[in-house]
Amino acid sequence: MIDRRQFVQSMLVLGAAAGARPSTVLFAYPPAEELKNLADAALAAAKQAGASYADIRINRYRNQFIFTRDRRVQNIVNTEDYGFGVRVIADGTWGFASSSNVTKDEIARVAGQAVAIARANKGINAEPVRLAPVEPFTGVWNTPVKKNPFDLPLQPKLDLLMQINDEALKVPGASFVSAFMQFVDEHKYFASSDGSHIEQSLIRSYPSFTVTAVDRATGKFYERNALTAPMGMGYEYVESYPLLQEARTAAEEAVAMHKAKPAPAGQKTLILHPTNLWLTIHESVGHPTELDRALGYEANFAGTSFLTTDKLGKFEFGSKLVNIIADKTQEHGMATCGYDDDGVKTTRFPLIKDGVFVDYQTTRDQAHLIGQTASHGCSYADSWSSIPFQRMPNVSLEPGDKDLSEQDIIGATDDGVLVKGDGSYSIDHQRYNFQFSGQTFWEVKNGKVTTQLRDLAYQSNTPEFWKSCDMLGGKSTYLLGGAFSDGKGQPTQTNSVSHGCPVARFTRVNILNTAL
Amino acid sequence: MIWTREQAKALTDRALSFSKAESTTVTLTGGERANLRFARNTATTSGASSGYSLAITASFGQKNGTVTTAEFDDAALQRATRAAEEIARLSPDNPESMPPLGPQTYSPVNAYFDDAAGATPEWRASAVGAAIELSKQRDVVSAGFVETQAGIQAIASSKGLFAYDRFTAADYNLTARTPDGTGSGWASRSYNELKQLKPEQLATTAIEKAALSKNPVGIEPGKYTVVLEPAALADLLAFMMFSADARQADEGRSFYSKKGGGTRIGEQLVSEKVRIYSDPAHPLGPTVSFDNEGLPLSKHMWVDNGVLKDLFYSRFWAEKMKKEPTAGPSNLIMEGGSATRDELIAGTERGVLVTRFWYIRPLDPQTILVTGLTRDGLFLIEKGKVTRAVKNMRWNESPIVAFNNIDAMTAAERVVSGEGVGGSGLAIVCPAARIREFTFSSASEAV
């Protein structure tokens, strides 16, 4: 699930530490030779303590957040976090320990601690760990960015954010604007007793804003968020997105919401823009195709899945138009990387083929549970201090064969609504019943967009919804959406993931008016 | 062992000694935590971590720069301090910036217990082993989580502020499911003190709920009287209070905004039975004694007899509005009533008993309308008795509406909500309640 509250709270915590930091690197990341020495020390200590398998991740995370509101810079916050985690299998049982003190002595202590933890749990482990085989890899993989945001000065970023503030507040009736940029560099080194030594640097960028229009007389207010998405790209994404135009449009639409027509209630044809549909894909396709959920490993928190293993290869998930791909190699995807946190080379594989459920997302320790001999490379840990487990790759809906435009789909619709941008989102713990809102809503009558609507949500059931998909836009309508804060596991870990899709149409979907 | 007051003070003194800024604030957080997960009636993953982080904020007038570092030798501290100063000089003036606090007076609280700080991997394994054993005996499949932690927070400024506090937490939660997949039960608790946590008792609760919730039937969505167990009520409480920010209200963009301007402080917003406050010394949910800026935490009333008494004021907004700042609360206490859980059920002609909620998200901030689902035990009540398990449902409701419709409550207890609010960070103490006309909007097949 996307943990928006945790994301907001982390922003608040950062906001409380008012200030800024230049992009100079505080901790020099050790050179490859030293990383290898540290890693080898961990693997040797684990082996000596009795581990049959060990891996170590030595990771450094840099974040930059720049917050502005109403033409003022509120905060520029740079964070840096550095540490290591050692994972072992001893007596067939997983153990893990970690520390922010990256020294050879501490690494040896922590490796021993990981083995001791595994041994303490041996008596209650009824399923000895079995790892799918993996080739040893030695190599480097970096997000192919044109402009590394951490190498750029602050001033152009501040200037652009101020311009966004200006553009939005110029619109009569726009009351407030908050605009921010977030940049992430996840630099990690992985080594395992299977012989891998892998170094990766993953860069992600996200510019966004919210415009609020308050009407003091009526006491009503409406917000409109930017339709931007976080991306596995550098600053070139920020520069290529028409942010000023989007700020103007957002402000105009927030103001117009006060006079928009109340949403209808009942069954309607629903046209979803990629800026909305990505989140519906995330919740209704991404999560139920996670193997750990289907097998009960997440039953206590994130939940299980209606896509139980007996449905694999035969369950009719959607209409024949629906082809959904898992892909950790997708260009600009937030989950894109060279190797996962099990050291498995990343791949692309179908989850839903011609409407039929055909595969799960897997890791090395769970692939064998459905008779597969190799992992799909979906292991990830959000910190050096977190235990890797199965996390979602980029999961995307393929565009239609014909290159239909958004206008073609609207033109073919007699009575419907068009939804853009992601809003409220909620789905049950087996991923059947969901309810999503959006940023803007539009009435479609006789092939034309007629007027703006407000207070709308759609509610459906996953297989019914996907079976009702009757039109797909073509490649030219395809966009990536995504989130930094997909939450899963205990303690909760976040995962960055993208979802690509075209404009798509669904018939007879239940629409609600959400005004009380 | 986590860092002592003396160790923390030595580090913050050393960090402050390197500063060349007009003023400096340093914040140290960290500690040790360890966990064990289980699922399918077997242990799955288990880990431990130890780490500390120091945030250094350098200020020149209204220009500020913050750097975080996890390396504490002199060279690393000096590098971090210089970097904070450099960014402060580059940063534009922030008119909302507040100067660092000087010395404060804190009321001592005790949120730290040796037994939780000293919990061993063997203790965690035995806590999980007990649940697995019971689950096998009762023919259910369980998944769950146990975590123990000890942490510190310290803050110091060049104006003479120094504060240090420590806390512990022990969390245990599990979900038991029947092998046929038609029944599911859940229990969750978090305490500062390990000995208050009763793994076998929690396992028994979850297992019994799983058995009771087997083979549910569907009922028509609509308005129902609900008996919300404390874990369900806690989420409504949290969502009501998450949006209680004074600035948002003054700016006209909150439920707590008054039409025409100002806030709704002083207005009766919910049933007069409702009293909500924060108190770091509350025996059921003790917390640290200061917030992340160093402001002292003390008992503070938010809602009394249903009347809104205060909202959250940051130091900046308080100064602007000529109010007292309210330290960021570290617990929420909702007082209960005198009914027992059985009495809440016995007084219900027709309604549903809710174990927990799930995936709650805001729909409309103007009314705090939120949506969510029920999970892990939903039961029909007819003529004062629980008669059978029913299928889960989605609900769309505002906590404000729900808290206006409270009929009766049990005594308050320490609780972790279905969404996980109530562990370390924000302790929650609240009752179970019977609430009229709660709105369910659709059916869910999920078990």
The answer for B 204-233 residues in CB contact with A (under 8 A) is none
Chain A residue whose CA is closest to B363? A424
DSSP A283: I
Read off the amino acid at residue A432.
Y
- Residue B328 pLDDT level (bands cut at 50, 70, 90): confident
Average pLDDT, integer, range B102-107 = 96
pLDDT of residue A21: 31
Asked if B394 lies within 8 A of A428 by C-beta distance, the reply is yes
Which of A21, A219, A426 lies closest to B83 in CB terms? Answer: A21
Whether chain A has a CB inside 8 Å of the CB on B129: the answer is yes
- Residue A28 pLDDT level (bands cut at 50, 70, 90): low
Torsion angle, alpha carbons of A258, A264, A269, A274, to 10: 30
Chain B contacts of A492, Cβ < 8 Å? 420
A489: which 2 tokens?
Answer: 């596991």
Asked if A433 lies within 8 A of B394 by C-beta distance, the reply is yes
Task: Tell me whether residue B367 is exposed, middle or buried, using C-beta atoms within 10 angstroms of its C-beta: 0 to 12, 13 to 18, 19 or more.
Answer: middle
pLDDT of residue A22: 35
**What is the per-residue pLDDT across A134-190, written as a single tens digit (0 to 9) for each?**
999 999 999 999 999 999 998 899 999 999 999 999 999 999 999 999 999 999 999
Asked if B375 lies within 8 A of A428 by C-beta distance, the reply is yes
A455 has pLDDT over 50: yes
Does residue A245 contact residue A284 with C-beta atoms inside 8 Å? no
Shortest Cα distance, chain B CAs vs residue A456, angstroms? 9
Which of B46, B242, B445 lies closest to A95 in CB terms? Answer: B46
B210 has pLDDT over 90: yes
Does residue A349 contact residue A291 with C-beta atoms inside 8 Å? no
Residue B252 CA, chain-centre distance (Å), reads: 27
Whether chain B has a CB inside 8 Å of the CB on A300: the answer is yes
3-class SS of residue A486: strand
CA distances to A18, A141, B143, B199, B215 from B178, in Å: 50, 45, 12, 19, 10
Cα dihedral sign, B219-B224-B225-B231: positive
Angle, in degrees to the nearest 10, between helices B121-137 and A104-121: 30
B51 has pLDDT over 50: yes
Chain A residue whose CA is closest to B97? A18
Asked if B46 lies within 8 A of A118 by C-beta distance, the reply is yes
- CA–CA separation, B308 vs B272, rounded Å? 11
Which of A214, A296, A459 lies closest to B251 in CB terms? Answer: A214
Whether chain A has a CB inside 8 Å of the CB on B242: the answer is yes
User: SS3 sequence, chain B?
Assistant: CCCCHHHHHHHHHHHHHCCCCCEEEEEEEEEEEEEEEEECCEEEEEEEEEEEEEEEEEEECCEEEEEEECCCCHHHHHHHHHHHHHHHHHCCCCCCCCCCCCCCCCCCCCECCHHHHCCCHHHHHHHHHHHHHHHHHCCCEEEEEEEEEEEEEEEEECCCCEEEEEEEEEEEEEEEECCCCCCEEEEEEEECCHHHCCHHHHHHHHHHHHHHCCCCECCCCCEEEEEECHHHHHHHHHHHHHCCEHHHHHCCCCCCECCCCCECCCCECCCCCCCEEECCCCCCCCCCCECCCCCECCCEEEEECCEECCCECCHHHHHHHCCCCCCCCCEEEECCCCCCHHHHHHCCCEEEEEEEEEEEEEEECCCCEEEEEEEEEEEEEECCEEEEEECCEEEEECHHHHHHCEEEECCCEEECCCCCCCCCCCEEEECCEEEEEEEEEEECCCC
A417 has pLDDT over 50: yes
**What is the per-residue pLDDT across A258-316, written as a single tens digit (0 to 9) for each?**
999 999 999 999 999 999 999 999 999 999 999 999 999 999 999 999 999 999 999 99
pLDDT of residue A1: 59
Residues 6+ apart with CB under 8 A from A237: A205, A207, A231, A332
pLDDT of residue A15: 32
Query: To probe the interface with A, which of B49, B175, B445 has the most A CB atoms within 10 Å?
Result: B49
Chain B contacts of A510, Cβ < 8 Å? 442
Chain A contacts of B392, Cβ < 8 Å? 428, 433
- CA–CA separation, A290 vs A298, rounded Å? 10
Residues 6+ apart with CB under 8 A from B280: B107, B109, B111, B286, B287, B288, B289, B297, B298, B299, B330, B331
Chain A residue whose CA is closest to B291? A16
B247 has pLDDT over 70: yes
A470: which 2 tokens?
Answer: 């009757």
Asked if B50 lies within 8 A of A116 by C-beta distance, the reply is no
Average pLDDT, integer, range A79-92 = 94
Chain A contacts of B184, Cβ < 8 Å? 299
Domains in chain A with CATH codes: 22-259 (3.30.2290.10), 262-513 (no CATH)
Interface A:B, Cβ pairs < 8 A: 307
A5 has pLDDT over 70: no
Please provide residue B46's backbone torsions phi and psi, each rounded to the nearest 5 degrees: -155, 140
Chain B contacts of A17, Cβ < 8 Å? 27, 55, 57, 66, 68, 292
Which of A100, A123, A428 lies closest to B70 in CB terms? Answer: A100
pLDDT of residue B205: 98
pLDDT of residue A46: 98
Q: Report the percent of chain B where pLDDT is more than 70.
A: 100
Query: To probe the interface with B, which of A58, A428, A437 has the most B CB atoms within 10 Å?
Result: A428
ipTM score of the complex? 0.95
Average pLDDT, integer, range B190-201 = 97
Asked if B66 lies within 8 A of A24 by C-beta distance, the reply is no
- CA–CA separation, A310 vs B305, rounded Å? 55
Asked if A125 lies within 8 A of B258 by C-beta distance, the reply is no
Does residue A103 contact residue A83 with C-beta atoms inside 8 Å? no
A450 has pLDDT over 80: yes
A17 has pLDDT over 50: no
pLDDT of residue A16: 33
Asked if B367 lies within 8 A of A516 by C-beta distance, the reply is yes
Average pLDDT, integer, range B101-120 = 96
Longest Cα separation, chain B = 73
B306 has pLDDT over 80: yes
Does residue B170 contact residue B193 with C-beta atoms inside 8 Å? yes
Among residues B115, B165, B168, B191, the alpha carbon closest in space to that of B288 is found at: B165
Find the distance separating the first CA and the last CA of chain B, reported in whole Å. Answer: 42
pLDDT of residue A9: 36
- CA–CA separation, B185 vs B336, rounded Å? 25
Query: To probe the interface with A, which of B25, B33, B37 has the most A CB atoms within 10 Å?
Result: B37
The answer for B 343-362 residues in CB contact with A (under 8 A) is 358-362
Task: Assess whether the previous peptide bond of B286 is cis (omega < 30° from 0).
Answer: no
Does residue A422 contact residue A282 with C-beta atoms inside 8 Å? no
The answer for B 133-152 residues in CB contact with A (under 8 A) is 141, 143-145, 147
Does residue B35 contact residue B64 with C-beta atoms inside 8 Å? no
B358 has pLDDT over 50: yes
Domains in chain B with CATH codes: 5-211 (3.30.2290.10), 216-447 (no CATH)
The chain-wide mean pLDDT, for chain B, equals 96
Chain B residue whose CA is closest to A117? B121
Whether chain A has a CB inside 8 Å of the CB on B92: the answer is yes
Asked if B47 lies within 8 A of A95 by C-beta distance, the reply is yes
pLDDT of residue B298: 94
Query: What pTM does this model have?
Result: 0.96
The answer for A 327-366 residues in CB contact with B (under 8 A) is none
pLDDT of residue A2: 56
Residues 6+ apart with CB under 8 A from A129: A53, A89, A92, A93, A94, A365
B217 has pLDDT over 90: yes
Shortest Cα distance, chain B CAs vs residue A321, angstroms? 25
DSSP A475: G
Among residues A386, A342, A388, the alpha carbon closest in space to that of A137 is found at: A342
What are the beta bridge partners of residue B145?
B37, B173
B67 has pLDDT over 90: no
Residues 6+ apart with CB under 8 A from A412: A447, A471, A505
pLDDT of residue A4: 38
- CA–CA separation, B210 vs B204, rounded Å? 10
Whether chain A has a CB inside 8 Å of the CB on B39: the answer is yes
Whether chain B has a CB inside 8 Å of the CB on A32: the answer is no
- Residue B70 pLDDT level (bands cut at 50, 70, 90): confident
- CA–CA separation, A114 vs A87, rounded Å? 7
Task: Tell me whether residue B365 is exposed, middle or buried, using C-beta atoms within 10 angstroms of its C-beta: 0 to 12, 13 to 18, 19 or more.
Answer: middle
The chain-wide mean pLDDT, for chain A, equals 93
Radius of gyration of chain B (CA): 24
Question: Regarding predicted confidence, which is higher, B174 or A516?
Answer: B174
The answer for A 47-86 residues in CB contact with B (under 8 A) is 72-83, 85
Chain A contacts of B447, Cβ < 8 Å? 430
Which of A221, A296, A433 lies closest to B444 in CB terms? Answer: A433
Chain B contacts of A13, Cβ < 8 Å? 292
Shortest Cα distance, chain A CAs vs residue B338, angstroms? 32
B22: which 2 tokens?
Answer: 């007009």
**Which span out of A12-16, A441-445, B80-84 was modeled with the highest average pLDDT?**
A441-445
pLDDT of residue A159: 94
Asked if A220 lies within 8 A of B366 by C-beta distance, the reply is yes
Task: Tell me whether residue A176 is exposed, middle or buried, using C-beta atoms within 10 angstroms of its C-beta: 0 to 12, 13 to 18, 19 or more.
Answer: buried
With residue A213 as reference, give the H or E element that holds it. strand A197-215
Q: Report the percent of chain A where pLDDT is more than 70.
A: 95
Whether chain B has a CB inside 8 Å of the CB on A306: the answer is yes
Residues 6+ apart with CB under 8 A from B394: A426, A428, A433, A435, A459, B221, B371, B372, B373, B440, B441, B442, B443, B444
